[in-house]
Amino acid sequence: MGRGRVTRPATRPDVVMCPGGPMLLRGDHVVVDDDGVSHATTRPVSAVCRCGKSASKPWCDGTHKVLPPKLRP
């Protein structure tokens, strides 16, 4: 496989940034948190917290929905 080869259709992105909410990852990923700890996921879609307020970091727990708009990512 050559460098830069696209292996998935552009209509199904691997990463989706949700306005005011999490970053969605499709497929198997490893997320490294601020402490350098790796968190692997095999779920079809995972939501990574971008607001910094989740009680289950690095994953989104929905807390961003109760934050004032100016504190949302």
Q: Which residues bind ligand FES (CB under 6 A)?
A: 21-22, 49-51, 53-54, 60-64
Cα 73 off chain centre by = 12
Q: Which residues contact 65 (CB under 8 A, 6 or more apart)?
A: 21
- Beta carbon nearer to ligand FES, 1 or 66: 66
Work out how close the CB of 59 gets to ligand FES at its nearest, in angstroms, rounded to a whole number: 8
- Beta carbon nearer to ligand FES, 39 or 53: 53
Work out how close the CB of 19 gets to ligand FES at its nearest, in angstroms, rounded to a whole number: 11
User: 4's torsion region: left (phi>0), alpha (psi -120 to 50) or beta?
Assistant: left
